[in-house]
Amino acid sequence: MKNLLILTALLSSVAYAAPNAEALYDTHCLSCHAPNRLGGMGPTLLPESLARLKRPEAIKAIADGLPATQMPGFKDLLKPDEISALADFIYTPPTHPPKWDAADITASRIVHQDALTLPAKPVFKADPMNITLVVEHGDHHITVLDGDIMEPIVRFPTRYALHGGPKFTPDGRFVYWATRDGWITKFDLWNLTVVAETRVGINTRNVAVASDGKTVLAANYLPHTLVKLDARDLSLIEVIPVIAANGKSSRVSAVYDARPRNSYIAALKDIPEVWEIPYDGRPPRPIVLQDHLDDFFFDPGYAYILGASRSAPKGQVIHLDSGRKIAELDLGGMPHLGSGITWDWKDSNGQTRRVMASPNLKDGLVTVIDMQTWQPIKTIPTAGPGFFLRSHEASPYAWADVFFGKHRDVMHVIDKQSLKIVADLKPIPGQTATHVEFDRYGKFALVSIWEMDGALIVYDAKTLKEIKRLPMKRPVGKYNVWNKTRLSEGTSH
């Protein structure tokens, strides 16, 4: 009997030592973060979703809450070991793979407006083709800027954590964006209102819009699918499972519109294939590769992709029609081809060639390659690895950030003909300067100061003089309607 008592005491102390995280979740978190951690009013809490959140930050969020949001603090309600168990729990994969199928997608759809009943002209005076959207990650907002004078027209809240760039219809009226947790939003820029929303997945990378404006295609990490929606009202057209011939499925890193091909192209993360998905509903065409390519660049005619992979040391040039590798790219480090840009460059004989330049995620350099021979013609040393390189047809300069390392407050300005750095800007010492985007005419260059209390700095693109600063909450990407819909050579698409 006495032994039994000791055993019971021991058992209960064991139970105390290991709080039941799942039960705690159901009691305290489920109401906002939803059953199975799939996300509802609060974001999805699965390991894939939390890739950018470090465990100590998660513990702090659970204990103290997140200021100026609806996430409450639990330190008065839960013991430290319970909070710690909850943190472990949210980084643990669920026992059953989470499901998000056609029925879930269809049931999630919210139609806010019938776009046909809204006036087909802008409610503002600004040039609708020179609008620039700024995505503010710090507090999940979008600012709409008048590109002629660089003044905000409106600022509004979005769903949690936009992922990938917003994509415009060719007329510039509608814009679509994806969130980390799988929501696709259609927004009417002329009426400044949300039209419809559909949740296409649990963890989503980005969305692309067909150049005929009829469909949108979303790339998912979770589940392993591509989801095609009707561009008018975001109703579901098709769920495309991403499975190779050998039965292995894959996450989709990103999807792009390939306008001249009347198709979309998808980059796959887990199988060495790139998929071409025709607009017209024919089945995807897998292009089988030697290596995984999860970061790539299209030549301006969409005949080739230039791809890099984390596993292979050299980049590759793939001819899309034949599916063949036609050249290797000897670029060194880890080129960020997805951020590559092109322009016409005159060589020493006065001959014009199309060149492509890309920043490098690992080494402090920008590489310039000849797009006919695919050979590097110049390596420009920078103050550290960078993320974005940007320019505009009307500008003689390319702007390269130094995103990683101690010089992340520096922005290099490169002369596109001499291929030399001609100016180093340091907008705010000690604060990360990144991602440049231009207005429609290439008159202004906008630099993001990527901090919670950050800013957008407007430069005169010719004189490189600062014109003004607009305060913003961790602004990252900027998207100009004209440059994005007209496939400006100085930005990505």
Closest by alpha carbon to 320, among 351, 346, 296?
296
For residues 431 and 360, the answer to whether their CB atoms sit within 8 Å is no
Exactly one of 12, 16, 72, 328 binds ligand HEC (CB under 6 A); which one? 72
Closest to ligand HEC by CB, 88 vs 466, is 88
The answer to the question of residue 356 lying near ligand HEC (CB under 6 A) is: no
Q: How far apart are CA 215 and CA 229, in angstroms?
A: 6
Q: Which is nearer to ligand HEC, 62 or 389 (CB)?
A: 62
Measured between alpha carbons, how far is 355 from 370 in angstroms, rounded to an integer? 5
Q: How far is the CB of 85 from ligand HEC (least distance, A)?
A: 10
- Considering only the C-alpha atoms of the chain, give the largest distance between any 2 of them, rounded to a whole number of Å: 99
Judged by CB under 6 A, which of 74, 100, 187, 345 binds ligand HEC?
Answer: 74
CB of 37 to ligand HEC, least distance (A): 9
User: Is 42 a residue that touches ligand HEC (CB under 6 A)?
Assistant: yes
Tally Cβ neighbours within 10 Å of residue 18: 9
Taking the complex as a whole, the smallest distance from the CB of residue 178 to ligand HEC amounts, in Å, to 16
Total binding residues toward ligand HEC, as defined by CB under 6 A: 24
Q: Which is nearer to ligand HEC, 61 or 487 (CB)?
A: 61
Q: From the CB of 87, what's the least distance to ligand HEC, in Å?
A: 7
Q: CA torsion, points 184, 190, 194, 199, in degrees to nearest 10? A: -10
**Candidates 3-11, 68-76, 195-203, 363-371 — which segment interacts with ligand HEC by CB under 6 A?**
68-76
Order of all β-strands in the sheet with 162-168? 110-111, 193-199, 183-188, 174-179, 162-168
What residues contact residue 462 under an 8 Å CB cut-off, 6+ apart? 395, 443
| Contact flag: residue 35 with ligand HEC (CB under 6 A) | no
Contact track, ligand HEC, 11-30, x by CB under 6 A: -----------------xx-
d(CA 28, CA 73): 11
Q: CB of 425 within 8 A of CB of 445?
A: no
Instruction: Give whichever of 173 and 199 is closer to ligand HEC, judged by the CB atom.
Output: 199
Are 119 and 128 within 8 A, CB to CB? Answer: no
Give the other-Cβ count within 10 Å of 404's Cβ. 16
Task: Assess 92 for contact with ligand HEC (CB under 6 A).
Answer: no
Residue 222 binds ligand HEC, judged by CB under 6 A = no
Among 70, 95, 311, 463, binds ligand HEC (CB under 6 A): 70
Please list, in sequence order, all residues whose beta carbon lies within 8 angstroms of the beta carbon of residue 269, skipping any fewer than 6 positions away: 221, 250, 251, 252, 253, 292, 294
Which member of 38, 46, 62, 458 binds ligand HEC (CB under 6 A)? 62
- Binding status of residue 58 toward ligand HEC by CB under 6 A: yes
Q: How far apart are CA 274 and CA 296, in angstroms?
A: 10
66, 120, 326, 422: residue in contact with ligand HEC (rule CB under 6 A): 66
| Angstrom distance (rounded) from CA 307 to CA 309 | 7
Residue among 36 and 113 whose Cβ is closer to ligand HEC: 36
User: What does the binding site for ligand HEC look like in residue numbers (CB under 6 A)?
Assistant: 28-29, 31-33, 41-43, 45, 50, 53, 58, 61-62, 66, 69-72, 74, 86, 90, 140, 160
